[in-house]
Amino acid sequence: MAATHVIQLLNWMHLTKHICMTDVTQELLDMLELEPLEQGLFRGTGSGGETATRIFGGQVIAQALAAAYGTVEDRLCHSLHAYFVRPGDPSIPVIYNVDEARDGRSFTTRRVTAVQHGKQILNMSASFHVVEESWQYQHPMPDVPQPEELVSREDYRKAQAHRVSDKRREDYLRPRPFDIREVNPQDHFDPKPLPDKNQIWFRMKGAQNITPQMNQCLLAYASDMNLLGSSMRPHGLTWGNGEVMTASLDHSMWFHGPIHFDNWHLYAMDAPFTGAARGFNRGSIYTREGQLVASVAQEGLVRPLKEP
């Protein structure tokens, strides 16, 4: 890796060390700090994410984007396209290999491969763009209740904890870095068919004074939350009812504008199609003021464990 790239990455990592944040927020930022090994090669932790049995998909995407940023200067990501190849093992580190595919005058392209046990668990292409001015247009933000009118994920889980087995309760209730408020939540323990429209407010309140690059990494991490659930809502399915096997298969994301993830953002999702044991899900991410800052698309495995 060029010396300037190493210095840039270490400065970026160093910045997050001096921010006053909650423990879980700092843990997530630490997770996105990758160790440079040599040119285009980085190591990241596999543990500590949303799940204990396998690495959360959003975590691998966010770390892969952080690895790509270790080789990019003076421009921000405008799109990424990732395939989940194998489940990640949270008990060992992940190695990220960055191919510096192209450095153009306006666009930079990177290919990132995440490896564990000598095999790919994810491969991702990402493109970075200089700032340019042009025409602007966007779809308006949906009219939904404000986050202050909704129950937080933390309070919802506390109220539902008695319905969780003793074995799972500690993990179910453990603190998490994101504040999430669902507009029309599914009952995970007694699910009913609901419209595929799936809207949440989310933010990481402690993530203040961080770089634009880190804001994108955090949003990439969080963009994998609740998305696959959109395609299960019309069927009255959830992860906990023993009827469905789920996994993210791919994940694409486009960044349209500046992100300040310490503020509330609306994640408006839907699922136009479910079939052939797959669900297709889309998402639009807006600032509270209504600016569209990112779009997301994902196909996921939705495989029946019983006769549908």
Write out the E strands in the chain. Answer: 35-38, 41-44, 76-84, 94-103, 107-116, 119-129, 179-182, 198-203, 244-248, 250-255, 265-275, 278-287, 292-304
212 three-state secondary structure: helix
CA distances from 148 to 110, 144, 145, 181, 248 (A): 40, 12, 8, 9, 31
Region class of 194: left (phi > 0), else alpha (psi between -120 and 50), else beta: beta
Nearest-CA neighbor of 221 among 99, 113, 66?
Answer: 66
Is 10 in a helix, a strand, or coil? helix
Q: Tokens standing for 142?
A: 């949906």
Residue 43 · residue 66 · CB < 8 Å: no
Cα separation of 275 and 133, whole Å?
Answer: 41
Which tokens belong to 202?
């989310």
Task: Using the structure block, give the residue that is written with the tokens 């691998």.
Answer: 60
Query: Under 8 Å CB-to-CB from 150, ≥6 apart: which residues?
Result: 181, 182, 183, 201
111 vs 292: CA distance, rounded Å? 26
Catalytically active residues are 224, 248, 298
